[in-house]
Each structure stands twice: as C-alpha cells, then as structure tokens.
Structure 1
Amino acid sequence: MADTYNGYCVKCKEKRDFEGEVHETNGRRMAKGTCPVCGTKMNRILGKA
C-alpha cells in the first residue's frame, strides 16, 4: 500500500512528492520512500492517526 507524501530531499535540496509506506517505530508513524529524481531515501514523520 504505497501512498504519495510530500517530503524534503536532502540531496536535491527541494521538497518533492514521493511514494512511500508507513512504518511505526517506538510509537512514531513515519512514511519512508525514495526520491523520484535522484533515488535518495526520504522520510517524513506523520501525526497520530
């Protein structure tokens, strides 16, 4: 189940939309995916459901 999220790519230094999956670690929800331009891993911390 990959959804689209907006995150900051450190390598490109721009905000981009990326497709990612939601993971939960230590009570924190996080969307993890890759940058569509350069392929660097991106993540975004999400709010509580």
Structure 2
Amino acid sequence: MAEAYCVKCKAKREMKNEQRTEINARGGKKRPALKGSCPVCGTKMMRILPKGK
C-alpha cells in the first residue's frame, strides 16, 4: 500500500482501494499516479508517481 496526504484529516495515511492510473501532464504527456481513499474519513486521495515507475 502507498502513503498519500489526506487533505481533510491533514495527515499522511495509507491509501485504501488504490488503483494505478495515468493523469495528463504538460505537453500532452501522461504521468503515472495512484488513486485511492482515506481509511479514516473516506476522502479521495491521489499520489503522483515518478516518471519511470
């Protein structure tokens, strides 16, 4: 499981139900990312991954 920052809880938490996805970046390129939810409050969380991973 990956860690991400929960804006609502204002704390770093382990993501629940994480899914690997791609988001649009500058210049029409794609960046890898993880989407999931906070296990405490249920808010959506996202973590942008390094380009090579």
CA RMSD in angstroms, aligned pairs only = 0.9
**Counterpart Cα distance in 2 of 1:31 and 1:25:** 10
Segments of 5+ residues of structure 2 without an aligned counterpart are: 25-29
Report the structure number with the largest CA radius of gyration.
2
Q: 1:14 is matched with which residue: 11, 16, 21?
A: 11
Q: 4+ residue stretches of structure 1 with deviation over 3 A?
A: none
In the alignment, structure 1 residue 29 sits paired with structure 2 residue 29: no
Q: How many residues align?
A: 46
Q: Which amino acid aligns with 1:38?
A: C
Higher helix share: 2
Secondary structure of the corresponding residue to residue 39 of structure 1: coil
Counterpart position of 1:46: 49
Segments of 5+ residues of structure 1 without an aligned counterpart are: none
- Using structure 1 for the length normalisation, give the TM-score: 0.84
Higher strand share: 1
